[in-house]
């Protein structure tokens, strides 16, 4: 068997190195591609390392089965799909090989010399390196067009971040394929230009360095500084604790010494770190459950300095040109699991942010205050953090909503950027059509961000928010150019409502849980056109139960109902492109959504709403039936008014509070009032 997608076939994957990260990289590939019959081979010259790697992978899959992440049969199949061997010859038919050996250029040179002899000339050759630029890894490879660095983050089978660092010779088609492949198998790949340490590691080491320098100055104990940095930046563990857990002191010492010449002289290995590397001691950090005491004065001294360093590092990385604001924030959020720096600056204000950076630079010679930060502060405007991305392919604009941590949930930034993006597309004469999709494969859009809904203060505010969103969806619906919605995963609530405003909807085949309008579970009705567009697209009789019982339907059911035009088995984006071409060529005629009143059947199907609020269901029925008597435009205004009316009910508060406290799996105890 083989995995064929995006114009390339993979029959076998190889991983070189069975140390700390190699088995985890292999495990992730096996978890995502075992069902395609693609074996994953781990090669190492040391048998004991292979034995340890095999045992580690087997143990992880056993735990995954215990926790019901995978069924036992699947967990067993995933492990059996992995081959641990000392024989490089097993890679003679591999299509993708990732080297994950020692972080030393000379070791990597030897490995790639052997891989170039062993693997097919079409195989992609990649190195998992946390710091070393690709130019230093692949100087001797004859065909550099197929080479790149792939920087995985710990733990490699679960952490979704992946930095992709190409050489200048890397074939753009190979780079694009690798990015699409990793997104398909569940990673969040960001493309980074070549520089020692790339875009994300300077944060890991820079935060640690800032902490060490504060300890050297006596601003607090290591334990206090570790705890305060953790709290200030929203980290899972503090930087000193992280170095204890990973044994990272020697690697950080080496990295900091190189950053000094590559980035700025502030980066250096301080004496305190040198002493700890020499003695091999662990940092004194808080034990599990221990409360660390410190004064407000100590907290403010440490917190202000770490924010100054954190924000300054973020701006230098973007100003250097190796990355961008959106990718840096995404990388820090999902890769290092801490507060994204540009979002954090927006929250405290750009004026306050530059004051912190300038104060830190004044106290720490060699630390940069970037021109981009000075210009942003002078503008008085917050940073624009892209969550809606546009890429043009010929005369088609591809628009992607990217918020992977919340499954591309909608918030005000998404709506505002959708308006800006589609306004630009409408004005762009060279663009003939657009494709709207979501990041990853789990969700097109999982719905509206619950935090945005919870923040609404009144019925009037809720109604106005609906009207604002209608104008954005109306722009898409009446763009004058075909818009194909490539529904790469589930579309709940606002996700389905955005899709319904598009010309055509297509979906990845075989989605058992695909479309739903779950708003009544949260104590309100759809507020982005669901009560008006769904009946007009598939008929009131078919829309009636979907809207009222909040149960999702599958992609095959959506196709049967006429909600989507196609279920796609292969490349979803290629299929979307074909729809655009065929519409523009007049080969297919997609009827537009009916804009006038709808006939109301004399009898509608009985619907069991179970635990759902009878009060909200009453309002929902009113929106559907009264809206059907009106034009689409007037029906939307009615929906907005009734959405606001939900605000005055007890059940809206009960539904949202329950979701915020217990998540989507616990039913709210509605009082039907």
pLDDT score of 323 more than 90: yes
* For residues 150-164, average pLDDT: 96
pLDDT exceeds 90 at position 667: yes
* For residue 56, pLDDT beyond 90: yes
Active-site amino acid positions: 497, 519
> What count of other Cβ atoms lies within 10 Å of the Cβ of residue 39?
19
Phi and psi angles of residue 414, each rounded to the nearest 5 degrees, phi first: -60, -50
- Per-residue pLDDT at 519 exceeds 90: yes
- Tell me what the mean pLDDT of segment 349-378 comes to: 97
Domain 201-379: assigned CATH number: 1.10.1040.50
Mean pLDDT, the chain, whole residue set:
96
DSSP conformation class of 440: S
* pLDDT, average across residues 544-551: 96
- d(CA 500, CA 50) in angstroms, rounded, equals 52
Give me the DSSP letters along 530-570.
Answer: HHHHHHHHH-HHHHHHHHHH---B-HHHHHHHTSSSEEESS
Question: In terms of CATH architecture, what is 3-191?
Answer: 3-Layer(aba) Sandwich (3.40)
Give the closest residue to 102 by CA, choosing from 251, 245, 281, 255. Answer: 251
Judge contact between 196 and 205, C-beta under 8 A.
no
The CATH number given to 388-662 is 3.90.226.10
124-127 and 96-99: which strand pairing? parallel
Q: What is the dihedral of CA 194, 196, 200, 206, to 10 degrees?
A: -150
- Least Cα distance to 40 among 27, 57, 53 occurs for 27
The label of the residue with tokens 């007037």 reads 634
C-alpha–C-alpha distance, residues 409 and 403, integer Å: 7
For the stretch 385-419, pLDDT in tens is 999 999 999 999 999 999 999 999 999 999 999 99
497 within 8 A of 526, measured Cβ to Cβ: yes
8 Å CB contact between 472 and 435? no
Average pLDDT over every residue of 478-499: 97
What is the pLDDT averaged over residues 152-181?
Answer: 97
Buried b (16+ CB within 10 A) or exposed e, 487-513: bbbbbbbbbbbbbbbbbbbbbbeebee
Collapsed DSSP state (helix, strand, coil) of residue 664: coil
The DSSP string of 343-385 is HHHHHH-HHHHHHHHHHHHHHSTT----HHHHHHHHHTPPPP-
Residue ranges of the chain assigned to CATH 3.40.50.720: 3-191
For 184-213, what is each residue's pLDDT tens digit?
999 999 999 999 999 999 999 999 999 999
pLDDT at position 247? 83
Could you tell me whether strands 515-516 and 490-492 are parallel, antiparallel, or unpaired per DSSP bridges? parallel
Instruction: Look up the pTM and report it.
Output: 0.94
Please name the helix (run of DSSP H) or strand (run of DSSP E) that holds residue 183, with its range, or none: helix 172-184
Which residue has 């000379």 as its token pair?
A: 106
Tokens 């006429």 belong to 562
Residues 6+ apart with CB under 8 A from 275: none
The C-alpha atoms of residue 637 and residue 572 are separated, in whole angstroms, by 34
Distances in Å between the Cα of 149 and the Cα atoms of 98, 133, 193 are 9, 8, 10
- Where do the CATH 1.10.1040.50 domains begin and end in the chain? 201-379
Largest CA distance in the chain: 84
Q: Residue 541 pLDDT > 90, yes or no? A: yes
Q: How far is CA 20 from the centre of its chain?
A: 25
Name residue 614's beta-bridge partners: none
pLDDT at 1 over 90: no
pLDDT at 454 over 90: no
**Closest among 15, 196, 209, 2 to 100, alpha carbons compared:** 15
- Pair 407, 443: CB distance under 8 Å: yes
Contact 432, 580 (CB under 8 A): yes
Alpha helices in 44-171 (DSSP H): 47-66, 72-80, 105-118, 134-137
- At 594-646, the pLDDT tens digits run 999 999 998 999 999 999 999 999 999 999 999 999 999 999 999 999 999 99
Residue 588 pLDDT > 90, yes or no?
Answer: yes
Q: Residue 210's pLDDT is what?
A: 98
C-beta of residue 527 within 8 angstroms of C-beta of residue 466: yes
SS3 breakdown of the chain: % helix, strand, coil, rounded to 5? Answer: 50, 10, 35
What was the pLDDT predicted at 452?
Answer: 86
Q: Which ranges of 81-139 would DSSP assign to H, the alpha helix?
A: 105-118, 134-137
pLDDT > 90? residue 455: no
Q: Given pLDDT bands bounded at 50, 70 and 90, which one contains residue 670?
A: very high
| Residues 271-320 pLDDT 10s | 999 999 999 999 999 998 899 999 999 999 999 999 999 999 999 999 99
What is the per-residue pLDDT for 246?
81
Element (H, E) at 255: helix 249-262
Would you say 54 and 87 are in contact if contact means Cβ atoms under 8 Å apart?
no
Q: What pLDDT, on the 0 to 100 scale, is given for residue 457?
A: 87
* pLDDT for res 245: 87
The per-residue pLDDT for range 117-128, each reduced to its tens digit, is 999 999 999 999
pLDDT at 193: 98
User: In three state form, how does the secondary structure of 585-608 look?
Assistant: CCCCCCCCCCCCCCCCCCCCCCCC
Reduced to 3 states (helix: H, G, I; strand: E, B; else coil), residue 82 is: strand
Please tell me the distance from the alpha carbon of residue 109 to that of residue 99, in angstroms, as a whole number.
10
Distance from the first to the final alpha carbon of the chain: 57
In the structure, what pLDDT confidence band is assigned to residue 143 with cuts at 50, 70 and 90?
very high
Pairing state between β 433-438 and 483-487: parallel
């Amino acid at each position: 068997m083989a995995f064929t997608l995006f114009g390339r076939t993979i029959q076998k994957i190889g991983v070189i190195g069975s140390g700390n990260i190699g088995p985890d990289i292999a495990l992730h590939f096996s978890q995502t591609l075992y069902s395609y019959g693609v074996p994953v081979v781990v090669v190492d010259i040391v048998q004991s390392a292979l034995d340890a790697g095999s045992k580690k992978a087997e143990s992880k899959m056993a735990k995954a089965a215990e926790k019901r992440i995978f069924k036992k049969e699947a967990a067993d199949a995933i492990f059996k799909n992995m081959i641990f061997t000392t024989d490089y010859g097993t890679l003679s038919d591999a299509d993708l090989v990732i080297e994950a050996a020692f972080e030393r250029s000379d070791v990597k040179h030897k490995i790639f010399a052997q891989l170039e002899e062993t693997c097919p000339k079409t195989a992609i050759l990649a190195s998992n390196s946390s710091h070393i630029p690709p130019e230093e890894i692949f100087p001797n490879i004859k065909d550099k067009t197929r080479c790149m660095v792939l920087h995985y983050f710990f733990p490699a089978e679960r952490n979704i971040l992946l930095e992709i660092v190409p050489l200048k010779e890397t074939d753009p088609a190979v780079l694009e394929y690798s990015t699409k492949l990793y997104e398909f198998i569940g990673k969040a790949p960001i493309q980074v230009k070549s520089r020692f340490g790339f875009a994300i590691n300077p944060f890991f080491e820079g935060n640690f360095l800032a902490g060490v320098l504060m300890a050297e100055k006596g601003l607090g104990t290591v334990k206090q500084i570790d705890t305060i940095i953790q709290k200030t930046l929203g980290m899972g563990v503090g930087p000193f604790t992280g170095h204890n857990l990973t044994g990272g002191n020697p690697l950080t010492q080496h990295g900091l010494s190189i950053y000094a010449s590559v980035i700025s002289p502030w980066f250096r290995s301080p004496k305190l770190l040198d002493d700890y590397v020499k003695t091999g001691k662990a940092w004194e950090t808080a034990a599990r459950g221990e409360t660390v005491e410190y004064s407000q004065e100590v907290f403010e001294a440490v917190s202000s300095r770490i924010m100054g360093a954190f924000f300054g590092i973020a701006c230098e990385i973007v100003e250097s040109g190796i990355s961008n604001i959106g990718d840096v924030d995404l990388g820090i959020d999902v890769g290092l699991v801490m507060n994204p720096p540009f979002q954090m600056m927006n929250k405290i204000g750009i004026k306050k942010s530059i004051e912190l950076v300038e104060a830190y630079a004044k106290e720490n010679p060699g630390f940069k205050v970037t021109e981009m930060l000075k210009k942003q502060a002078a503008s008085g405007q917050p940073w624009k953090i892209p969550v809606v991305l546009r890429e043009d392919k010929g005369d088609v604009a591809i628009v992607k909503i990217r918020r992977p941590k919340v499954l591309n949930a909608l918030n005000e930034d998404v709506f505002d950027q959708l308006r800006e993006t589609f306004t630009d597309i409408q004005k762009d004469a060279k663009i003939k059509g657009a494709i709207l999709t979501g990041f990853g494969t789990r969700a097109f859009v999982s719905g509206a961000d619950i935090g945005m809904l919870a923040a609404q203060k009144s019925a009037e505010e809720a109604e106005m928010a609906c009207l604002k969103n209608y104008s954005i969806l109306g722009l898409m619906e009446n763009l004058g150019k075909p818009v194909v919605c490539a529904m790469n995963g589930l579309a709940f609530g606002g996700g389905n409502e955005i899709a319904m405003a598009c010309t055509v909807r297509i979906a990845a085949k075989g989605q058992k849980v695909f479309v739903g309008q779950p708003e009544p579970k949260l104590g309100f009705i759809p507020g982005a056109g669901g009560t008006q567009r769904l009946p007009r697209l598939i008929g009131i009789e078919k829309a009636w139960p979907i809207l009222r019982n909040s149960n999702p339907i599958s992609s095959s059911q959506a196709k049967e109902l006429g909600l989507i035009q196609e279920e796609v088995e292969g490349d979803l984006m290629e299929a979307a492109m074909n729809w655009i071409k065929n519409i523009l060529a007049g080969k297919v005629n997609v009827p537009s959504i009916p804009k006038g009143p709808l006939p109301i059947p004399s009898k509608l199907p009985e619907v069991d709403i179970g635990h759902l609020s009878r009060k909200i269901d009453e309002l929902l029925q009113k929106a559907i039936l009264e809206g059907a008597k009106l034009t689409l435009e007037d029906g939307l205004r009615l929906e907005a008014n009734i959405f606001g009316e939900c605000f005055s009910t007890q059940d809206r508060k009960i539904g949202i509070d329950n979701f915020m406290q217990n998540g989507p799996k616990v039913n709210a105890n509605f009082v039907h009032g």
